[in-house]
């Protein structure tokens, strides 16, 4: 996230605005804010929406009571993962129906997918 960001006139534009590390360790944002008594709980919640809006909670977590589908995360000290995932395009699973472990990494600026899935997505998008 950023506000009124400017690049020097003689430099190419940056491909990213920044990275917000939401890791679970002592160096994570929520742990540091709680350590400085700026938030009450060492909690982070990220709610995504099919309507193009979402919310990032840090510290206190009062999620909406309706219209929310909860996805349990695997326990890991290194990343957040809901486990195995499939990719659907127009409500159809991609050819071969491959599955892979989905990982949410707040410290990465790229999306990585297996080659078979990437090629199928490109094929479907191009029509």
Residue 3 has pLDDT above 50, yes or no: no
pLDDT recorded at residue 34:
92
Q: What is the DSSP letter of 120?
A: H
Query: Over the stretch 105-126, which tens digit does the pLDDT of each residue have?
Result: 766 667 778 888 888 888 888 8
pLDDT recorded at residue 13:
65
pLDDT recorded at residue 8:
63
Query: Over the stretch 53-87, which tens digit does the pLDDT of each residue have?
Result: 777 888 887 777 777 778 888 877 777 888 888 88
Distance CA 12, CA 16 (A): 12
Handedness of CA 69, 31, 81, 104 (dihedral sign): positive
Closest CA to 88 of 49, 121, 45, 43: 121
Model pTM score = 0.54
Contact assessment for residue 81 and residue 74, using Cβ atoms and an 8 Å cutoff: yes
All residues at 6 or more sequence positions from 30 whose CB lies less than 8 Å from its CB, including other chains: 22, 39, 41, 42, 43, 44, 58, 59
């Amino acid at each position: 996230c950023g506000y009124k960001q400017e690049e020097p006139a003689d430099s190419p534009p940056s491909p990213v605005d920044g990275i917000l590390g939401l890791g679970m360790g002592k160096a994570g944002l929520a742990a540091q804010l709680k350590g400085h008594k700026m938030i009450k709980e060492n909690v982070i919640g990220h709610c995504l929406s099919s309507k193009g809006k979402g919310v990032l909670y840090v510290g206190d977590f009062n999620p909406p009571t309706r219209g929310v589908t909860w996805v349990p995360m695997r326990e890991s000290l290194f990343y957040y993962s809901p486990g195995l995932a499939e990719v659907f395009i127009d409500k159809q699973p991609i050819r071969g129906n491959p599955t892979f472990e989905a990982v949410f990494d707040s410290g990465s600026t790229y999306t990585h997918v297996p080659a078979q899935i990437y090629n199928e997505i490109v094929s479907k998008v191009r029509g």
